[in-house]
Amino acid sequence: MVNYKLIADNDPVGELQTAFDSMAAEAVTSTPEVMVTYRQIGERVSLAASAELEAAVNGSELVPSWVDSVLAKDGINVNDAQVSATLGAIVSTDTAAAIIAMGLVTSPKYAGLKIGHLANARQMRAEGRV
């Protein structure tokens, strides 16, 4: 079901196509539970980042010994506050930021929005229905 009130409330006004393009380009970023492993870090960030993290985990008194095996198999939740704080303490700032960024999920703010929805929302707003 289309939420015409939401669309009308967030209508940037102006020419229809320009307003639609503006709304379609809007995105939201969320941080759900995202588990990452050494391998994924190597693939999505760099092999150097994966190696730096592995060396830091194995050489740090801040990290329990079982974390290495978890990173090798199941992964760690990079959106957990304790995990991100520990990353910041054991690896370089750039590496920590790159690994933490793996947990960011960006999606369209108005998923499925069509230009006709915006046109209908404007019409409904003009008629006082939303």
For residue 10, the tally of other CB atoms under 10 A from its CB is 16
Give the single-character DSSP code of 62: S
pLDDT digits (tens, 9 = 90+) for 17-63: 999 999 999 999 999 999 999 999 999 999 999 999 999 999 999 89
Q: Is the pTM of this model over 0.85?
A: no
Q: Residue for token digits 């974390």?
A: 67
- Which structure tokens are listed for 104? 């960011």
**Residue range 81-87: mean pLDDT, rounded:** 95
Backbone angles phi, psi at 95, to 5 degrees: -65, -45
**Residue range 101-111: mean pLDDT, rounded:** 96
- Which structure tokens are listed for 107? 């999606």
- Which structure tokens are listed for 111? 């998923």
| Spatial distance between the Cα atoms of 101 and 21, rounded to a whole number of angstroms | 27
Burial class (CB in 10 A: 0-12, 13-18, 19+), 70: middle
